[in-house]
């Protein structure tokens, strides 16, 4: 069943070409085409309104008693149209089409033609290292050769089983290394790096046999994720300079396999992002702009890729501008960040959303736009379940007190500071840095000089900009 606004959202995400293709195909369909009325009315809506849709359809003589069935019919037809429209536009889709056609030919008794289809699909799959498809292709080829052999030479059948065994060995190792890298990603994303549990988990993963070295018969992805894993391990340990060499190796591997890169744009861009993120940590900007431009010039092919690119690109660019004292330029891209956060909200995790909102807050704060900064701080959902953001939550609470000080809200400062102090202490987040910040705020409150209590204004213009030039953001 199609729930709520799924159909509406799908229609709104169709390109003009996809809509035109669907409309043209509908003209050649037999039977009732009531679903086209629903398609047109939904497409004309700016915001989904089911009651209005039903009213408009009813006015056209459409029976809306089975509206849910009509929605489901249209949804399936759109998906079928999209499948046909995009067929052959990617190598994976070519493989899937060949598998489907080979199955049809087999069922009709055209075994040798089916084998030709599968052999061609296998060549493409090997070229682009799509091992998950190769297993299925080899499986189908084996059964087809069993159908054909019927007492004749079994040489080809033996070759296929040997190929399957070799592939199993290499891809099992690739799967082990991938799994280790993915587990490291989860640790980095969900645990504070200095937490004892994090350190212990990293040690366990480091001891895995699969990540001790590279084998001569390793696949492209086995070698790639071997370096990804070790880059992550060094990052978890705080060895960012060592991590840099692994990130460079990752990009070097991608550079040697442009054909594989061409069908894995999202992964390639994620690895560029990881490299740039590490560059921020070690303050190495030698080729930063060049790689940022490479990232920006890689075309996205769908909504999923666009969302991933937005998350990575604007996160990195905002940090880069802030860390290089380009504060006005950082302020200039805030509207783009805000638009992207709304457009791709379903693909932005709570953790990344917190980071985006905090960095936008910092952008306004450094530019001494304190009212706007406070507005963004208020939009942050300080989800206590996200362990990796414990430090960010603590800093956000302290910064809220500082912003109120800058706005001249001195009467509430004492209560706010005391509340933050108690909350951080209760959550075991009152470390040396946090204590120092709160102590300075207390001293400002008690300052005898009344000017120290006034909002920043013209008397200390650009104070936060000057301070930020000596501060590095890594979130």
- Show the low-confidence residues of the chain (pLDDT under 70): 1-4, 30-31, 88, 149-153, 191-192, 381-390, 410, 412-413, 424, 426-435, 437, 440-475
- Tell me if the pTM is above 0.85: no
Contact criterion met (CB below 8 Å) for 401 and 425: no
> What is the pLDDT, as a whole number, of residue 246?
97
- Residue 142's CB is within 10 A of a number of other CB atoms, namely 16
Does the CA dihedral 387-390-391-392 come out positive or negative?
positive
User: Which stretches of 191-239 are DSSP H helices?
Assistant: 196-206, 220-237
From CA 279, how far away is CA 151, in angstroms rounded? 63
Long-range contacts at 462-469 (CB < 8 A, ≥ 24 apart) = 462/368, 463/368, 464/365, 464/366, 464/367, 464/368, 465/325, 465/327, 465/366, 465/367, 465/368, 468/322, 468/325, 468/327, 468/366, 469/325
> What is the pLDDT, as a whole number, of residue 213?
93
> What is the pLDDT, as a whole number, of residue 30?
67
> What is the pLDDT, as a whole number, of residue 452?
46
Going by C-alpha positions, the residue among 338, 344, 368 that lies closest to residue 356 is 338
Going by C-alpha positions, the residue among 60, 13, 18 that lies closest to residue 37 is 60
From CA 403, how far away is CA 391, in angstroms rounded? 18
Give the pLDDT confidence of 361-392 residue by residue, as tens digits.
Answer: 989 988 989 889 888 888 776 555 555 566 77
Angle between helices 390-406 and 432-445 (to 10 degrees): 10
> What is the pLDDT, as a whole number, of residue 381?
62
> What is the pLDDT, as a whole number, of residue 389?
63
> What is the pLDDT, as a whole number, of residue 228?
96
> What is the pLDDT, as a whole number, of residue 254?
96
Contact criterion met (CB below 8 Å) for 366 and 465: yes
> What is the pLDDT, as a whole number, of residue 430?
66
> What is the pLDDT, as a whole number, of residue 216?
86
Give the pLDDT confidence of 312-340 residue by residue, as tens digits.
Answer: 999 999 999 998 889 999 999 999 999 99
> What is the pLDDT, as a whole number, of residue 378?
81
Domain assignments of the chain as residue spans, ordered by start: 6-85, 160-299, 322-475
> What is the pLDDT, as a whole number, of residue 370?
87
> What is the pLDDT, as a whole number, of residue 335?
95
With a pLDDT cut of 70, the percent of the chain lying above it is 83
> What is the pLDDT, as a whole number, of residue 459?
42
């Amino acid at each position: 069943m199609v729930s709520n606004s799924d159909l509406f959202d799908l229609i709104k995400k169709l390109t003009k070409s996809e809509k035109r293709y669907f409309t043209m195909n509908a003209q050649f369909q037999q039977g009732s085409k009531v679903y086209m009325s629903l398609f047109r009315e939904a497409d004309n809506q700016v915001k989904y309104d089911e009651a209005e849709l039903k009213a408009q359809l009813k006015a056209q003589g459409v029976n809306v008693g089975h509206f849910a069935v009509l929605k489901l019919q249209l949804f399936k037809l759109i998906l079928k149209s999209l499948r046909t429209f995009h067929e052959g536009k990617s190598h994976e889709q070519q493989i899937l089409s060949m598998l489907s056609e080979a199955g049809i030919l087999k069922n009709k008794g055209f075994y040798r033609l089916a084998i030709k289809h599968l052999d061609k699909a296998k060549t493409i799959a090997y070229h682009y290292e799509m091992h998950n498809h190769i297993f299925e292709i080899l499986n189908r080829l084996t059964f087809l050769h069993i159908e054909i052999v019927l007492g004749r030479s079994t040489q080809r059948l033996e070759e296929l089983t040997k190929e399957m065994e070799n592939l199993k060995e290499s891809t099992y190792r690739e799967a082990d290394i991938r799994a280790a890298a993915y587990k490291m990603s989860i640790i980095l994303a969900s645990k504070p790096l200095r937490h004892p549990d994090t350190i212990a988990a990293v040690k366990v993963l480091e001891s895995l046999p699969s990540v001790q070295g590279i084998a001569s018969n390793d696949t492209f992805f086995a070698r790639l994720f071997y370096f990804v894993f070790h880059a992550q391990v060094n990052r978890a340990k705080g060895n960012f300079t060592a991590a840099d060499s692994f990130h460079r190796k990752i990009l070097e591997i991608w550079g040697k396999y442009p054909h594989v890169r061409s069908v894995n744009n999202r992964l390639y861009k994620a690895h560029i992002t990881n490299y740039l993120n590490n560059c921020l940590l070690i303050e190495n900007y030698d080729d930063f702009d060049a790689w940022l431009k490479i990232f920006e010039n890689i075309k996205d092919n769908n909504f999923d890729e666009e969302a991933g690119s937005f998350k990575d690109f604007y996160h990195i660019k905002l940090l880069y501008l802030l860390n290089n004292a380009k504060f006005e330029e950082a302020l200039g891209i805030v509207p783009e960040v805000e638009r992207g956060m709304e457009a791709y909200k379903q693909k932005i995790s709570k953790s990344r959303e917190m980071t985006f909102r905090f960095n936008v807050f910092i952008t306004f704060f450094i530019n001494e736009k304190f009212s706007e900064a406070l507005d963004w701080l208020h939009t942050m959902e300080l989800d206590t379940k996200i362990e990796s953001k414990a430090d960010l939550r603590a800093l956000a609470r302290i910064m809220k007190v500082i912003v109120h000080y800058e706005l001249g809200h001195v009467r509430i400062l004492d209560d706010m500071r005391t509340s933050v102090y108690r909350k951080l202490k209760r959550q075991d987040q009152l470390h040396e840095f946090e204590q120092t910040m709160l102590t300075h705020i207390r001293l400002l409150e008690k300052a005898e000089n009344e000017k120290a209590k006034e909002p920043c204004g013209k008397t200390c213009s650009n104070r936060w900009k000057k301070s930020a030039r000596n501060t590095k953001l890594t979130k």
